[in-house]
Chains A and B, each alone.
Chain A
Amino acid sequence: MTTFIQQALNGLTIGMIYALIALGYSMVYGVLKMVNFAHGDLCVLGAMFSLTLLRATGITKGRLNIIEVPLTGTRLLLVLGMVFLGGMLCSTITSLIIERLIYRPLRRASILTVLVSALGVSIALSNTMMLVFGREMKSFPSLLKKQYFTVLGATYSNLQVFIAILTILLLIGLFYLVNKTTLGRCIRAVALDKDMAGLLGIDVNRVIVAVFALGASLGAVAGISHAMYYGQTYYLTGYQLMILGWASAVIGGIGDMRGCVIAGLLIGLLEAVGGGYLPILTGGLLGADYRRIFVFLVLIVTLVIKPAGILGKPEVIVKA
């Protein structure tokens, strides 16, 4: 039982990160009806850039990016602010450049052309990161001084609490923005019908820019949290994040924000609980490496049973 609670807590933490990434996919899909392959790479870009900031300001040192003086009080807050805001800014600016230069001219092109261009952006972005930041796996400091709590016999670190609180705050903010503000109403209108929204006087381009900015900011937070949680970042991590985030978005029902959050948490849980139990149940025959397989099986089963996702509405996803 303790193992289960432990894995469930770990899974929920990582699930929050997936939920943030899935929201980025889902929102862009909502307004443009395209899958932004590059989103996973934008998340990693945020982490890479904030790591560069940490090194440039001399907070972390050496090849392993160790923090020599533990951060406390105001200094910790300032550093966290710099890391997250810097990463968000970098991802957002890159995302907007991509939107303006590549996705916007292709808005009326055929869907297959758009998909190919998005794939190209993802490949180009991850390999540019490789050239700029290096091809090795980089260790990423957790910034917080490690502290552990015991909940129902399971240990929970302050980093996990931090990620959970941060995600919940962001989600509350996002849901408020989308459901209660004028911008949110415009986003929903554009998602429903771009042309009609344009006719009613909504500046569709500005709404799309806002969605890309929101998605990239959430993605950067997710990327940095992911890097802090695992203590490392790597230029190819974006590929993994892309698959998992996209899978969460699809399982939850792409375009539906609540569905994305639920599916993200579900996938995190599945990965952690499945990964935790596999070696025990199979007597070490199947290791935790196989945990991702559950995710993909759930994805395929979801697509077969309810292709629109858990909360999605059956639209044009299936042509049968």
Chain B
Amino acid sequence: MSNHKNDAATSRSPGFSLNQVQRYWRALTKKAGVKRALFIGAAILLLALPRIITSNYWLRVIDLAGLYVMMALGYNLMFGYTGLFNLGFAAFFAIGAYCYAMLASPLHNVHLPFLIVLPLAVGLTSLISYLLGIPSISLVGDYLGLVTLSFAEIFRILVNNLKFTNASYGIVNIDAIRLPFFTFKSVSDYYYLILPLCVVMYLIIKRLEDSRIGRAWMAIRNDEEAARTSGLDTRRLKLLACAIGVAPVGMAGVIFAGMQTFVSPESFTSRETWLIIAMAIVGGLGNADGAVLGALLLTLLPEPLRGTPIESARTLIYGLLLIFFSLFRPQGLLPRRYWKGEAEEEASG
């Protein structure tokens, strides 16, 4: 029944025959043995990846892709589940990165260990997002976008000018990430840090999707007034989405700073926000699998173009992707699950 509904929702859009692919995929994975074999195969492949791909360059790209997976998952939670239009994601990425950069570098001569900075940074990122949400959360979509966009701009101006953050020079010689018994040195070490974090994030967000809170978020996205009438505290739920949604972004920022050992305001322009939005849209909003797929596609696919003349058109391509998907496949490559009767309502506006 639910399958049928899903097909009805997706087959309306022209273009792709992706739902066909999806149907085969579902039929294939229905058999328990196939599913388990695929799962084990994928796990082995993921764990052994640094042994298969030996090029440091590609491993770095994959590490970055992992960070983007985290961020796209966070964006998916805020925009895809809850419908909060955040245009300042780059700022939250920067908050995480700058937290680590300032607390573990020669700039202020503070060298705190990773395990202390990580919760601090993630907590601070969430707190700032929560505080920003308090005045602005009751605003409708585009207004919230404007407030978060302005916040990102304020943050960029501050980081770019304050002596405290070493202004536009950025922070260099950031400590490599250290655990009590291990220091992460090479890109393959970082792979084994990023992969489990991605998996944990994915599982948490996947579980949230099916939880009471997740369903409440989606109810808010679909019809906030109806959700409130049904007794949901929409304000608190939206603030919660604000706080949780940016947590993976802050975490990605911390690891980014440790991995690059260098941060500057240049790395956190609005371009990063556009990229994350494009990932979430291309993959499919409101669907954790979609966010992962979108993040992987948009980081790995353009890599071979590096060095060619097309490279300067990269951001242009993100823009075109947003337009293309809005027009022809607003539900993304992997559409989210539709509830009974929901699809028809959405189509009729």
Give me the interface of A with B, judged by CB distance under 8 Å: 34-35, 102, 105-106, 108-117, 119-125, 127-128, 130-131, 135, 239, 243, 246-247, 250, 286-287, 289-290, 292-293, 295-296, 299-300, 303-304, 307, 316-320
Known: A114-B326, A127-B316. 11 other contacts (CB 8 A): A35-B146, A102-B326, A115-B142, A116-B281, A119-B277, A119-B322, A243-B149, A296-B153, A300-B136, A303-B135, A307-B143
Judge whether B29 is part of the interface by a CB distance below 8 angstroms.
no
Judge whether B330 is part of the interface by a CB distance below 8 angstroms.
yes
Known A287-B161, A290-B157, A290-B161; judge A120-B151 contact (CB<8 A). no
**Number of residue pairs A-B, CB distance < 8 angstroms:** 139
Whether the Cβ atoms of B330 and A122 lie closer than 8 Å is: no
Name the A residues within 8 Å of B327 (CB-CB).
102, 105-106, 117
Contact with A along B77-116 (1 / 0, CB 8 A): 0010001010100000000000000000000000000000
Whether the Cβ atoms of B153 and A243 lie closer than 8 Å is: yes
From the candidates B79, B154, B235, B274, name the one contacting A123 in the complex (CB within 8 A): B274
Whether the Cβ atoms of A292 and B141 lie closer than 8 Å is: no
Name the A residues within 8 Å of B135 (CB-CB).
300, 303-304
Judge whether B303 is part of the interface by a CB distance below 8 angstroms.
no
Ranked nearest first, the 6 interchain pairs of A and B with the lowest CB-CB distance are: A120-B322, A123-B319, A124-B319, A117-B326, A127-B316, A120-B323
Distance to closest chain B CB from A287 (angstroms): 7
Q: In the complex, A130 Cα to B312 Cα: how many Å?
A: 9
12 intermolecular pairs with C-beta atoms under 8 Å apart = A35-B142, A112-B83, A113-B330, A117-B322, A119-B277, A123-B318, A127-B319, A130-B312, A135-B312, A299-B147, A300-B135, A307-B143
Known A246-B146, A296-B150, A318-B139; judge A289-B319 contact (CB<8 A). no
Chain A residue at minimum C-beta to C-beta distance from B285: A112
Distance to closest chain A CB from B188 (angstroms): 34
Which B residues between 297 and 322 are near A, CB-CB below 8 angstroms?
312-313, 315-316, 318-322
Whether the Cβ atoms of B154 and A109 lie closer than 8 Å is: no
Distance to closest chain A CB from B130 (angstroms): 15
Name the A residues within 8 Å of B225 (CB-CB).
319
Name the A residues within 8 Å of B204 (CB-CB).
none
Whether the Cβ atoms of B143 and A121 lie closer than 8 Å is: no
From the candidates B140, B158, B316, name the one contacting A318 in the complex (CB within 8 A): B140
Known A34-B142, A123-B274, A243-B149; judge A108-B349 contact (CB<8 A). yes
